[in-house]
Structure 1
């Protein structure tokens, strides 16, 4: 409603400036409708910063209409009054620009509906690893928190409640992954397509588990579209937040944790720092697997319904490197997938003995570094198990995330011309999940499947099995 209202106000304002005749004929009907629309929008949807230029514009346009109705033509207007009228038209015309720009970032992003056969449930777990100190804080008493949001195939008859998109919505820091918090004022209204307090689907006794690690600094929430869709295909996806690196997350005691980076001396490219963070993240994933093996850790709705013999790890960007590192160091994991992630430390020299998948964005658009190309190439070359690599043309690094959906269609189109990603997040994520589901099927106990077949359903996806 909000964007449609803004378009209506902008069209009305332009018409008042362009033609007095149109203004005189349209205004008696259009102006009351738009004013009522503004009131209804405010009452139903609340205040967003994006609406301020729209409200100012409609007020100015209304004033111009009243003046034009009072003085129907320039011939009837004295020279004294003619200049203010021209200035008024100019002001209204100029106000169209900020009103249009304000709506380039949508107040409530629209996430895609999951494409799998299952409804989706979700539940958040905030755990504390008593065996690990929290090295990011100053207190020696602090222990490592790991926050996990489970997304799972749900009972289709259960209604449940709406899940919140982002941790700490009422207590956000000034910026969240370079985005100012004012942009997220309406994010409590995002439909994640996941429902809380719903039972897991009873079609299977136990469901395979996939750990998901997000990109560096990115909250797990920014992958909701991808994760919810994967859960709808028959996986329990455990999305992990890594506190004090992620932009914002809520700890077990209710604290809102924000980044605390401790960069190292003599580390100009931050490779040593990133290698250390990779170790922290891999330990987080090992702790999650530990929790899965403890009775009743997953609560009454999920405990006993997870196939803990079939667990894989996937991730995007730095999270993809985390998944690969976890596979190299944890024999309990059956497979891993790296979505567009650069590898750090000694990881490229590891020899993986279980299946590994690399899905990457268009190199021509993302411009992957030499470290990305040589590191992933070396890891795949050393494989002693099936290895796959696919490149999705017209997808950029952010196409796997919800970030493009934070923009209105015109802004998304402009961004695609500047930084790539014209395939769009919907098709990019659907293709990625088709490939992921086919890749994970055999190592997670569901029988053989061919990722090449999944990739072939889409145009301009290149690659295949490399080992």
Structure 2
């Protein structure tokens, strides 16, 4: 909520409460405060453009306040009207039209570029056209070098053509998410501290767009990683293809067989990124080494990272954040290092399949397995989703949405663990993983 939002809502609530508790005092204030309330809403409309989420809230607040001041208490019970205002005000506070992402705290400013191309060697099985081929969509986040203020990067593909829901959220709530500040400069130069930068592939959760991991990925980029976040077309809720078409997700049953098939498609997507990224004109050209990379992901993306490690020898380390494994992946013997990060079992309730399959895969890691649990966070805790709620509401809703741990601390702990395990195989300074985990309360685990 902006400062102006807060002033308008608090003023209206004070009027309503005043009308209920001290009617005479409120009535002399009404001729002054109500016009100011409407004037403030008008100024906000001019400064901040039209935001439909605010209209019913302010309309109801103004009408309820007016009724309290002009109607006898015996006709309109004051307590009832004031009580009705509370959820309205909470709704305004709960879902800011443009959420704010905290800036990354690494040593580097962050740049970003989006790359899209067609993999002519692979047909697209998700469409009916036999002439369609697989699209590859990658957003790179990287340590940057630039002097001018960063230009906001579009947060979400397909603005104006969103499906009914995106990652479980009604698209009407996302109408201004293209204005989210990602704290990144668009297409700015890669920092020149090193001749080549370490590369980390990232795969999102099932159906989730790469955008909802922006906080975590910019954090990693600010610490010196080139992060290649891969959207998986026709599974992700919305993504823009190379020809400008906006593709929506194709529903599946969620059966083990279908998820295993999707995992195979995703694994091939990651390999296709490594095959082509070095030849695509971008700020990264000639500055990254795609022969030795790490992979990480969340949920099904975590399984994708593990699968890439099993099937592509260029992937020398992998991390799985809260991902269930499918197909024959639990039987694979990963070269390692390999990191499994669990959210709090008491919050997420991991399935028996999750526990057993991950236990089996960890037992077969040949070069250093690590298993950590981040307490007081749930399955979506590492995403941006908790930041879509305003802080007061987030604190109240944490038990059911994101976890009680601060989302910024969850992001930092996750990034620290990823950097500690995945950095050294890419030439970064060795880290004491246990010491890194020990910086945070309720982060437990160790080598396996």
Task: Please classify the TM superposition score into its range, dividing by the shorter chain length.
Answer: over 0.9
Moved more, 364-373 or 98-107: 98-107
Q: Which runs of 5+ in 2 are unaligned?
A: none
Is 1:126 matched up with 2:116? Answer: yes
- Out of 57, 61, 64, which is 2:60 matched to? 57
Q: Write the distance in 1 (CA, Å) between the matches of 2:11 and 2:32.
A: 13
Question: What per-residue deviation string (whole Å, max 9, x for no partner) do you get for residues 314-362 of structure 1?
Answer: 0000000000000100001121110111111100100011311111101
Give the match for residue 45 of structure 1: 48
- 1:449 deviates by 1.4
Q: Write the distance in 2 (CA, Å) between the matches of 1:384 and 1:89.
A: 66
The answer to whether the Cα contact below 8 Å between 1:17 and 1:89 also exists between their aligned partners in 2 is yes
The answer to whether the Cα contact below 8 Å between 1:118 and 1:232 also exists between their aligned partners in 2 is yes
Q: What pairs with 1:167-316 in structure 2 (closer than 5 Å)?
A: 167-263=157-253, 270-294=255-279, 297-299=280-282, 301-316=283-298
The answer to whether the Cα contact below 8 Å between 2:23 and 2:69 also exists between their aligned partners in 1 is no
- 1:460 deviates by 1.4
- 1:420 deviates by 6.3
Give the match for residue 76 of structure 1: none
- Out of 101, 104, 126, which is 1:111 matched to? 101
The answer to whether the Cα contact below 8 Å between 1:27 and 1:65 also exists between their aligned partners in 2 is no
- 1:48 deviates by 2.3
Moved more, 247-256 or 51-60: 51-60
Question: What per-residue deviation string (whole Å, max 9, x for no partner) do you get for residues 14-57 of structure 1?
Answer: 32333224414544553343222211211122222321223213
Q: Write the distance in 1 (CA, Å) between the matches of 2:166 and 2:9.
A: 26
Q: Write the distance in 2 (CA, Å) between the matches of 1:313 and 1:22.
A: 64
- 1:285 deviates by 0.1
SS at match of 1:206: coil
Give the match for residue 151 of structure 1: 141
- Out of 306, 328, 338, which is 2:320 matched to? 338
Q: Which runs of 5+ in 1 are unaligned?
A: 69-80, 264-268
Q: What pairs with 1:90-109 in structure 2 (closer than 5 Å)?
A: 91=81, 94-109=84-99
The answer to whether the Cα contact below 8 Å between 1:119 and 1:155 also exists between their aligned partners in 2 is yes
SS at match of 2:112: strand
SS at match of 1:169: coil
SS at match of 1:274: helix
User: Across the two proteins, how many residue pairs are aligned to each other?
Assistant: 445
Give the match for residue 394 of structure 1: 376
- 1:208 deviates by 0.7
SS at match of 1:378: helix
The answer to whether the Cα contact below 8 Å between 1:396 and 1:420 also exists between their aligned partners in 2 is yes
Q: What pairs with 1:426-445 in structure 2 (closer than 5 Å)?
A: 426-445=408-427
Question: What per-residue deviation string (whole Å, max 9, x for no partner) do you get for residues 35-87 of structure 1?
Answer: 2221121112222232122321343256347738xxxxxxxxxxxx7755x36
Is 1:463 matched up with 2:445? Answer: yes
SS at match of 1:358: strand
SS at match of 2:292: strand
Q: Write the distance in 1 (CA, Å) between the matches of 2:427 and 2:257.
A: 37
Q: Write the distance in 2 (CA, Å) between the matches of 1:202 and 1:24.
A: 66
**CA, structure 1 residues 369+298, in 2 after alignment: closer, same or farther (shift >3 Å)?**
farther
SS at match of 1:229: helix
Give the match for residue 20 of structure 2: 17
Q: Structure 1 length normalisation: TM-score?
A: 0.90
Q: Write the distance in 2 (CA, Å) between the matches of 1:244 and 1:233.
A: 32
Task: From the CA coordinates, give the structure whose radius of gyration is larger.
Answer: 1
**CA, structure 1 residues 181+90, in 2 after alignment: closer, same or farther (shift >3 Å)?**
same
Moved more, 359-368 or 45-54: 45-54
The answer to whether the Cα contact below 8 Å between 2:386 and 2:402 also exists between their aligned partners in 1 is no
| RMSD value, Cα | 2.1
SS at match of 1:413: helix
- 1:405 deviates by 1.2
- 1:159 deviates by 3.2
Q: Write the distance in 2 (CA, Å) between the matches of 1:185 and 1:380.
A: 42
Question: What per-residue deviation string (whole Å, max 9, x for no partner) do you get for residues 224-256 of structure 1?
Answer: 111111110000101110000001111111111
Give the match for residue 151 of structure 2: 161
Q: Write the distance in 2 (CA, Å) between the matches of 1:89 and 1:381.
A: 61
Q: Write the distance in 2 (CA, Å) between the matches of 1:177 and 1:96.
A: 28
